[in-house]
Structure 1
Amino acid sequence: MSQSLLPEDYPANLLTVDEPEVSVVVPIYNEVESLPQLLEAIATTLKQSHLNYEIVCVDDGSRDGSAEWLRQEALKRADLRAVLLRRNYGQTAAMAAGFKHAIGRVIVTLDGDLQNDPADIPRLLAKLEEGYDLVSGWRKQRQDAALTRLLPSKIANWLISRVTGVVIHDYGCSLKAYRAEVVTDLNLYGELHRFLPVLAFIEGARIAEMPVLHHSRRFGQSKYGLGRTFRVLMDLLTIFFIKKFLTRPMHVFGLFGLLAIAAGVGLGLYLTFVKLVIGEPIGDRPLLILTVLLLTTGVQLFSFGLLAELSMRTYHESQGRPIYRVREVIGAGHVQRPRNGDKTVL
């Protein structure tokens, strides 16, 4: 296989490789009206770019017929793999399932609602070829409601950039291109899909951002709202801790623990001096209660730091466990049963 992501004179030459050069991962939740146009747009764009490709659609427990449509279409098309999850796990789990089942050397993600434009995919791939590991789309001219979508998004993007140190204008844009090795070892939970650039940065990825097209929603209603804000904030705190102390939790818990113990010991020596040298009673002094609290809290924080160190070592040394359960995988004229930890849960 060619070492280059794209042909040397891209897009003129046709790649002749057995496995797809590009995997397009699309999480689907109640988007049956959009699917025919979406798949046709993706296929047309990548065929015009002369790239071998596959489309991996992950149905996240849809109830509008999306899963059945994907099932039937995957049995007809050689370029489509449908991954059907047992229930609605959320976009993060759907993307994790898509990453697991994609086999291309480059993975492109986009939403299934036709708001992302597949025509931007070649531009992302060309940018990736400049030496980046991840290229994130920026919906510079975003076609969404100003008060309920644009304003919260701008605040969230500013906050995430400040807290994580990874400055990106549009963390919420699903249209991204990754080198496959970047996402292979990432374990996703909660709402962590929007923090993929930060997680990739932690692993040493080189990241770029470029403006992409954004269209108004044509079918159905948005699945996102202000109710996700609290979950995103909690995940932001998780990401901040991971970025700063993932491999050294003792540095934060142990530090605060030692400071508390030192302060408790200092106050204890002072109270001992007051009691034994000056001869004043200390039983009714608030400082005595504070001393006990500082010593107790310090020991607990230090112990928690040790436990966190053990947990992190277990995390890094053990194999990951999927956060989703696949019912079946259909594609290329055959049915694939769950494998590699995708167990059937009754």
Structure 2
Amino acid sequence: MEAKNIDVSVVIPLLNEAESLPELVNWIAKVFTEEKINGEVYLIDDGSTDESWDVILDLKKKFDWVHGIQFLRNYGKSAALQVGFQEVKGDVIITMDADLQDSPDEIPGLRKMIIEDGYDLVSGWKEKRYDPITKTIPTKLFNAATRAVSGIHLNDFNCGLKAYKKDVVKIIEVYGEMHRYIPVIAKWNGFAKIGEKPVQHRARKYGTTKFGLERFVNGFLDLMSITFVSKFKKAPMHFFGLLGSISFLLGSAGAFWLLIEKVYLSMNHLHIQREVTDQPLFYLSLTAVIIGSQMFMTGFIAEMVSLNQSNRNDYHIKGKTD
């Protein structure tokens, strides 16, 4: 008998969420049943130190559509999502956090926007947030900066509740801490139809948040990184070569000016006791020429080195349910 196609795959990264997992998975099961969705859930244990993996094994016994993957150590949310994306079989992939702040009741609406409205990606927008001001203000600044750089008009890039076409998650690559910029990565990979859906944000019921203020600093650094890589990944010489050329030409112009000045003074018998090497312009010009040459060499080397290393997304998996 041929197996049914999977309608929806739910990918849930988690770290020390043993208390919330049973309630979350039972809630998802209720939605699957009520909406007649043939779904699956991937619980990615990102190096938990509590009983999360034991809870996942118990849930697997109760629901055959629950799949668990356990990392040997904590790799981060991007790693968990990437591994989950590699495993999923559904036509629509939905990601959510494991802390019960994302509501599984949003699954049917997100699925509809992908299947019926034809979006490549739909990002949740938590209009009313139950977060402290130390988190909401940096979030607003982060979202404003990402909108300005990417040209994608989303209110909440960092919302964990998102939906994707299967093609999107199978093509994009998420690594480091780039999960915040999945809409940006998707757009630069050709998936331009990106939508947004207001979603419910619930107060945390169990445990404490795993994120501190440092993630916003890292977020802005990641934005610079992904912008550079996305624009110059195929042709790094366009970046390094341009800057190198400008620096080299400025340095050469400075040296040429000193040479002309020296010749002019000699031809007019103006014996000014000033050596070329005594002038600050000489050292500035020399430095600019050296930097320009180095940037040129960096561009050539970068052209030869592949950014898509084969082992970028190799993670040590400690356990797997099936």
* Shorter-chain TM band: over 0.9
Deviates most, 70-79 or 25-34 = 70-79
Tell me which amino acid in the other structure corresponds to 1:325.
Answer: H
Tell me which amino acid in the other structure corresponds to 1:315.
Answer: L
Structure 1: give runs of 5+ residues left out of the alignment: 1-15, 331-335, 337-346
Q: Work out which of the two has the higher radius of gyration on C-alpha atoms and give 1 or 2.
A: 2
Matched with 1:341 is: none
Following TM superposition, by how much is the alpha carbon of 1:17 offset from its aligned partner in structure 2, in angstroms? 5.8
Matched with 1:78 is: 64
1:245 to 232, 237, 252: 232
2:278 partner SS = coil
Distance in 2 separating the partners of 1:247 and 1:131: 29
Deviates most, 208-217 or 260-269 = 260-269
Matched with 1:235 is: 222
Alignment of 1:99-138 (within 5 A): 99-129=85-115, 130-138=117-125
1:261 partner SS = helix
Following TM superposition, by how much is the alpha carbon of 1:207 offset from its aligned partner in structure 2, in angstroms? 0.7
Tell me which amino acid in the other structure corresponds to 1:48.
Answer: E
Note if contact 1:189-1:323 (Cα within 8 Å) is conserved in structure 2: no
Matched with 1:41 is: 27
Matched with 1:98 is: 84
Asked if residue 288 in structure 1 is aligned to residue 282 in structure 2, the reply is yes
Tell me which amino acid in the other structure corresponds to 1:292.
Answer: L
Asked if residue 315 in structure 1 is aligned to residue 302 in structure 2, the reply is no
Alignment of 1:17-36 (within 5 A): 18-36=4-22
Alignment of 1:252-291 (within 5 A): 252-279=239-266, 281-291=275-285
Tell me which amino acid in the other structure corresponds to 1:69.
Answer: V
Matched with 2:195 is: 208
1:114 partner SS = coil
Distance in 1 separating the partners of 2:29 and 2:58: 17
Following TM superposition, by how much is the alpha carbon of 1:75 offset from its aligned partner in structure 2, in angstroms? 3.4
2:108 partner SS = helix
1:300 to 294, 297, 302: 294
Matched with 1:326 is: 317
Matched with 2:176 is: 190
> What CA RMSD, in Å, does the superposition of the two structures yield over aligned residues?
1.6
Alignment of 1:60-71 (within 5 A): 60-71=46-57
Note if contact 1:135-1:178 (Cα within 8 Å) is conserved in structure 2: yes
1:30 partner SS = coil
Note if contact 2:233-2:307 (Cα within 8 Å) is conserved in structure 1: no
1:252 partner SS = helix
Matched with 2:269 is: none
Distance in 2 separating the partners of 1:33 and 1:86: 21
Tell me which amino acid in the other structure corresponds to 2:18.
Answer: V
Distance in 1 separating the partners of 2:234 and 2:119: 25
1:188 partner SS = coil
Matched with 1:11 is: none
Matched with 2:161 is: 175
Distance in 2 separating the partners of 1:212 and 1:323: 33
1:219 partner SS = coil
Following TM superposition, by how much is the alpha carbon of 1:320 offset from its aligned partner in structure 2, in angstroms? 5.3
Note if contact 1:23-1:105 (Cα within 8 Å) is conserved in structure 2: yes
Structure 2: give runs of 5+ residues left out of the alignment: 267-271
Matched with 1:12 is: none
Asked if residue 226 in structure 1 is aligned to residue 213 in structure 2, the reply is yes
Following TM superposition, by how much is the alpha carbon of 1:47 offset from its aligned partner in structure 2, in angstroms? 2.1
Deviates most, 194-203 or 162-171 = 162-171
Matched with 1:148 is: 134
Following TM superposition, by how much is the alpha carbon of 1:321 offset from its aligned partner in structure 2, in angstroms? 3.6
Note if contact 2:172-2:189 (Cα within 8 Å) is conserved in structure 1: no
1:283 partner SS = helix
Following TM superposition, by how much is the alpha carbon of 1:304 offset from its aligned partner in structure 2, in angstroms? 0.9
1:42 partner SS = helix
Deviates most, 65-74 or 286-295 = 65-74
2:282 partner SS = helix
Following TM superposition, by how much is the alpha carbon of 1:323 offset from its aligned partner in structure 2, in angstroms? 4.4
